[in-house]
Every structure is written in structure tokens, then in C-alpha cells.
A and B are shown apart, each in its own frame.
Chain A
Amino acid sequence: MPGPEAKPLRWDDGLWEELARSTDAPLCYQCGSCTATCPLAEGGKLNVRQLVRLGGFGDGVKGSGPELPGLWSCTTCAQCNAGCPRGVDVVEVIRYLRARGWRRNDVPPGLRPLLWAEFQDGNPYRMPPSQRATWTRGLSGAAAGSTDGATTVLYVGCTSSYDPRAQRTARAVARLLAAAGVPFRLLGNEELCCGETPRALGVDGMFRELSARTSEQLRKLGTSRVVTISPHCFDALRAGLSREVEVLHYSQLLDELLSSGKLKVGGERAGTVTYHDPCYLGRHHGVYDPPRRLLESAGAKLVEMPRSRRWALCCGGGGGNMWRESEAEGRLADARVVEAKGTGAPVLATSCPFCVTCFQGAEGAGKGRLEIVDVAEVVARAAGVPG
């Protein structure tokens, strides 16, 4: 309930029309299921239903603009989408409202420098492009992506290129593909950011520009298939690249190779593992089984967390939160690690570099050890090609 100091809200037909054109917001009948399922709704920090409603109120008159509380805390986990009875793409509404924020230069501190880093350095880590391929150190032959004529590109992504922990996953995937006899090439220092962060933050122009440049790059190389390490890159490239290029997450390709017998997994057996569905692989794209099959093939005994598959709890890293000191990241990751430990499994496996980073950060907060691994690393160990 707005208090006595609340500014009067003023409906703006123009803004509402724009919202209606750009999103499914008109379908919303304000049932509140989205808020009910949102992991950040606790304490009123993020009220998704209200955001969709407020989207129609404008600030054409000074002092009447509504605030959109929690708009920037959203991790775009799409739990709201999963719960919406009308099938509204609520995440798209969030992105649209964020875009409006950028137009008005009304965004929280820390995001402008992040976008400038993307613009100037081509990645959110402020790392030089000239160091993008250093993760390949130690790889040789086919695993180093040296197959020139290959029509499959292993798209590494900024995190797996620059973050030492995530680089291990990249090496594991590269070695697995080579072991399965899948020729692939790497884009090396020329690989561009997929643009998932600008997209999630509502800076669509940058996302589209990056997608266009990557599309052109792949067209020149004759690429027909792109395999990504990160589900975020998977989602962004799927949304941004031209239709002719097939985009897969590595778990989907490795799963195919496993069932066709091209990938042999028989070595070191994994123990009891609980698998965390990354939002951008699971809920956003319905890819739940391939990573599980891969873990089982590696001898893992899977135990499910109470919230899994479509209802998996977000790690807190999406929606631009990876690069902000945000409460969201900390709280969600902590809660998820507690849930994982509750299964009794000593290993929490996932298939997203953001999730791995968030859980590792939370790990220190908990007592007792919980090993955080990427599915690729488990499979690589079992296939005898460790990272």
C-alpha cells in the first residue's frame, strides 16, 4: 500500500501501448502467481506482478513516475514464466522495463561501468581480448580446436575464457569432444561476447550488434553448428544468431555422442551427486535430462533436491547480478547450497559457469565440505580425459 508520501501515479497510454507492442503484458490478469513463485519475493523486495502493472504508468508529468522496486534485482530465472497461467513471458517484460530505465539514464550504480566494460573490452570482466584464448594452454591437437575446416564451433564464452575455475570446464569439454572424434574449431581471440548480460539488463542494441557480428563471423567460416559451454551463451546465441546455425549446449551434444556410442565413459566412477538445473538450460529451454544422463553414465547415483527441474531454485547469478554486489546472489546461492547438503550428497553438480561461481562463493559460508563441479568435469574424469 502506498503511504502518504507516495507520488500520485499517472497512466500513460503511450507507454502502455509500447509495452503492449513489445511484450505479452496485456495478457496479464494480475493473479500474482508470478510473485508467489518468485524466489526473491520474500520481504517485498521484488513484486513481479506489481512491476508488470506499473509498466503502464508513465512519468510524463514530473513527480508522477512510479518506482519499480526490485526491477534490477531480478535474476531472470523465469520461475515466474513457469508459474504464469497465461503464458506471459514475464522475463521479457522485465527486460523491457529495464530498457526503459536505460533510456532515462535511470539505472542502479555499477551497471553503467559494466556496460562500458562490455563496450570497450568486449566482455564483462574488463579483460583484454588478447588473453581470451589462454585457457587452451595445455591442450593440443584436435582438443585445441585445430580442425580448420570444421563446421562445428565450440563457443567458449567470456566466463570460461577468463575465469580460472571455469577454464577447467572448457578444457574438459574440449577434450571430451576430441575424444569422441568430433571435429570442432575455436574462434580464439576473435570470439565475441554472446551479449547475454546486455540483453538481460535491457540493452538490446548491444546484444543485437554483437549477434549480428557473430552471425557474420560464423557465416564466413561456414559454421553450421555452435556448441556452448554456458547455458547463458546457449540462450543468447539461440535468440541472436541466424536460423541456419544450430545452437546446442555441450550437455546436449555429449548426450547424443554417448547414446550413439561415440563417447565412451567407463573410467573413474562418480559417487552420489545432486544435480542443479541451471535456469538458462532447464527452465528457459527445457533441457533437464541430458545432463542427468551424462552424470549417470559416469556412474553417479543421482539424488534430487526438493526444488528441481522446472522448479529449481536459481543460483542468483543471472540477470546481470554476477557483476554486482547484490544480495540476491548471496542469499539464493546460500539457500541452494543448504538444500544440496540436505540431500546428503557430497557433490553438487551443475552445467553452468555462473552457477559454479555462485555456489563456490556460498560454499565458504557453510560448514562441512560440498564439492561443486561442472557435469563436464565429472564426465571427463569418467572418460579418462581429465581437465
Chain B
Amino acid sequence: MTGPGGVWVYAERRGTAFRPVSLEILGRARGVADALGERLVALTAVPAEGAVHDLARFGADEVVGLVHPLLDRYDTRVHTDLLEREVRAGAPSVLFLGASRDGQDLAGRLAVRLRTGLTAHVTSVEVDPGHRLVGWVPGFGGGIEAGIVCPDRRPAIVTVRPGVFPLPAAGAARSAVRLVRPTIEAGSFGSRRVAFEPKGDTTDLTRSDVLVVGGRGTDGEFGRLQQLAHRLGGEVGATRVATDAGWIDRDRMIGQTGVVTHPKVAVILGASGAVQFTVGIEKAGFVIAVNRDPDAPIFDAADLGVVGDLAPIVDRLVKVLEGA
């Protein structure tokens, strides 16, 4: 199963749009494909043909659309089987997937199905002088990054978290589109969906320009952070400590195993600044931090650090901003 069969990007469709992470990867993958001297192929599995054409304006050499009405939801077995078939037929060198929940559900299974290497949650990719794709992942503890390669097996599967690469704009040029109509029936599915409840809060912290983040020092009182975020037109995020303590949804967790964000402004309240957290916020344009402990490491990661109790400061700040 050796290449050069191309650099493939699996684009995950969700309702009426592609997941931003899929497009982010597609944007970056153009450069990777060029550096490797291979074709860039975007691959998707959708219920109707129209969606496939949406993918054709993001710079791929070819867009392959697997189209079948039963592909209106993700199923591990259906999608693993479909992708396995396409990969064995096309023999790509690299396969990128977005590290959404379904994306990771699929990538982990597919990698074993194909007996190949999986480099997960890269924060950057490059092609080294030896023409190898290197995926950089944060070393545990932060401060260093490890470059992972998959020397022998193909395709090298790589997953990328949302917000790592910039979201490209759709271009004028269109990729060639190839439609495939696989045979899928009820028996192809490994699961039966009993219910789906859409979430009211579909906040995407990676898209926020302003983040107000709370840590241990909030003592669970996120109300004032909500007020401040609302005043500033931003969103509320949290450190691992706060989500582990059950003070706020896991979805709001920022950091190495949460989301990596790049807001214009981040206000960090009551977080010590452990590196597992700061890796999720260090791309922020401007960082304001408030902490009672003058020696908290967060001050090394901040532009403006305020030593003090966050509660009275935030309460006062909200009032000041309301008066503004």
C-alpha cells in the first residue's frame, strides 16, 4: 500500500455545512501536498450531491463525494468500511481528519483497520527535508514539542484539533468533483440512533475573539465571569480544575486536552497558569490575568497582570464597563 496516492483530507459534514476544522485542515493541506509533490484530495460522505460541490472551492485537486441518503448521520461501521474501501483503492500517503468527536471515533478505528500509524492532535505539520510529513504534538508538560513521523506504513493518518489552522476563505477556482454511490443498507450500520437532542449552547470557543476564563480561584462562582463575558461580547472558558470540579461544562475547558484558542483578548481569572492550560491561550493577542498569588506562573504568560481578589475586581469592572 505505498503511495504516492495523494494527501487526502476527510471533510466531515454536519447538517448544512462542513465542520470548520475540516476546512482549516484543507487550507493547510494544500501546502503539505505541494511540498510532498502529491495531489490534494478532499473526501466526504454525504446524503446528497449538493454538499459535495460546497467542498470544491477550497483548493483541492479533486473532491470525492460518497453520496447515499443513509449517510445523513455518522455510524462507526458504515464510515470505517467506506473509508477503508476508498483508501485501499486510492492508496494515499497521508489522510487527515479533524479531531471532532466523530472524527476521533473514526480515526482511531480506521487506523487499526488499516494497521497504520496515527498521529493525533497535532499543533502543526511540516514536510521535512527528507520528504517526510512531521506532525508536531505538545510534549507532556509543555515547553517542548515532539515531532512524530510514520516512516513505513501508509497512509499516515493525522488528526488535527479545531482552531489549530486558520479557516480559509472559499476561492474562485473549483476542484474536479467525482461522485461515488456506495451500496449502503440498514444492515450496514453498527448502531441504531434512538434519539438526538440538539444542544442549546453550541459555543465554539475557538471562534471567540474575547474569552473570559475562570480557574480554581473562582471557587465555582462563574456568574460574574458570565456577566463580564457578556459585557465584552465574548465567551466563558475554564481551566481543567474548574471543569473537573464540575463548576462548568467540559466543553468550556481550555488547554492541552481542551480547546486551543486564539482570541484577540483573554481575561484569565483565578487560574495559576499551569502550562497545560496556557498552551490553550498563549496565542491570544492580549492577556489580562488576575490572581491572588503574586508568584502565580500565569503572570509570566500575561501582558497585564493584576494581583488581587478576582471577585471584587470583576464585580467592579462589570460596573465600570456598564457605565462606559
Chains A and B touch (C-beta atoms under 8 A apart): yes
Q: List chain A positions with a Cβ less than 8 A from chain B.
A: 109-110, 113, 126, 134, 137, 164-165, 325, 364
Cα–Cα, bound, A110→B247 (Å): 10
Decide: A113 and B245 in contact? CB cutoff 8 A.
Answer: yes
Decide: B292 and A325 in contact? CB cutoff 8 A.
Answer: no
Beyond A113-B245, A165-B292, A364-B312, list 4 extra A-B contacts (CB 8 Å). A109-B246, A113-B244, A113-B246, A325-B219
Residue contacts A-B, CB under 8 angstroms, 17 given = A109-B246, A110-B246, A113-B244, A113-B245, A113-B246, A126-B216, A126-B241, A134-B295, A137-B295, A164-B292, A164-B293, A165-B292, A325-B219, A325-B220, A325-B221, A364-B311, A364-B312
The distance from the CB of B307 to the nearest CB of chain A, in whole angstroms, is 9
Binary contact track B8-38/A, C-beta < 8 Å → 1, others 0: 0000000000000000000000000000000
Contacts of A134 in B (CB 8 A): 295
The distance from the CB of B311 to the nearest CB of chain A, in whole angstroms, is 7
Closest-by-CB residue of B relative to A325 is B220
Closest-by-CB residue of B relative to A364 is B312
> How many contacts between A and B, using CB within 8 angstroms?
17
Cα–Cα, bound, A126→B221 (Å): 17
Contacts of A137 in B (CB 8 A): 295
The distance from the CB of A269 to the nearest CB of chain B, in whole angstroms, is 29
8 closest Cβ pairs, A-B complex: A164-B292, A164-B293, A325-B220, A364-B312, A113-B245, A126-B241, A364-B311, A113-B246
Closest-by-CB residue of B relative to A110 is B246
Contacts of A110 in B (CB 8 A): 246
Binding site secondary structure of chain B: loop
The distance from the CB of B12 to the nearest CB of chain A, in whole angstroms, is 34
Cα–Cα, bound, A137→B245 (Å): 29
Cα–Cα, bound, A109→B246 (Å): 9
The distance from the CB of A161 to the nearest CB of chain B, in whole angstroms, is 13
Chain B residues 196 to 224 lying within 8 A of chain A, measured CB to CB, are: 216, 219-221
Binary contact track B279-309/A, C-beta < 8 Å → 1, others 0: 0000000000000110100000000000000
The distance from the CB of A115 to the nearest CB of chain B, in whole angstroms, is 13
Contacts of B295 in A (CB 8 A): 134, 137
Closest-by-CB residue of A relative to B307 is A164
Contacts of A364 in B (CB 8 A): 311-312
Cα–Cα, bound, A110→B220 (Å): 11
Cα–Cα, bound, A164→B246 (Å): 24
Cα–Cα, bound, A110→B244 (Å): 11
Contacts of B245 in A (CB 8 A): 113
The distance from the CB of A164 to the nearest CB of chain B, in whole angstroms, is 5
The distance from the CB of B224 to the nearest CB of chain A, in whole angstroms, is 12
Contacts of A113 in B (CB 8 A): 244-246
Cα–Cα, bound, A134→B293 (Å): 11
Cα–Cα, bound, A82→B25 (Å): 69
Contacts of B293 in A (CB 8 A): 164
The distance from the CB of A170 to the nearest CB of chain B, in whole angstroms, is 15
Cα–Cα, bound, A325→B247 (Å): 10
Cα–Cα, bound, A322→B244 (Å): 18
Cα–Cα, bound, A225→B216 (Å): 35
Contacts of B311 in A (CB 8 A): 364
Contacts of B246 in A (CB 8 A): 109-110, 113
Cα–Cα, bound, A23→B295 (Å): 47
Closest-by-CB residue of A relative to B311 is A364
Contacts of A164 in B (CB 8 A): 292-293
Cα–Cα, bound, A325→B223 (Å): 13
Cα–Cα, bound, A126→B293 (Å): 16
Cα–Cα, bound, A325→B293 (Å): 22
Closest-by-CB residue of A relative to B312 is A364
Contacts of A126 in B (CB 8 A): 216, 241
Cα–Cα, bound, A364→B313 (Å): 11
The distance from the CB of B22 to the nearest CB of chain A, in whole angstroms, is 36
The distance from the CB of B238 to the nearest CB of chain A, in whole angstroms, is 14
Closest-by-CB residue of A relative to B219 is A325
Contacts of B220 in A (CB 8 A): 325
Cα–Cα, bound, A325→B219 (Å): 8
Contacts of B244 in A (CB 8 A): 113
Contacts of A325 in B (CB 8 A): 219-221
Cα–Cα, bound, A110→B241 (Å): 13
Cα–Cα, bound, A126→B311 (Å): 21
Contacts of B216 in A (CB 8 A): 126
Cα–Cα, bound, A73→B221 (Å): 19
Cα–Cα, bound, A165→B220 (Å): 19
The distance from the CB of A226 to the nearest CB of chain B, in whole angstroms, is 27
Cα–Cα, bound, A143→B292 (Å): 24
Closest-by-CB residue of A relative to B294 is A164
Contacts of B241 in A (CB 8 A): 126
Cα–Cα, bound, A165→B246 (Å): 25
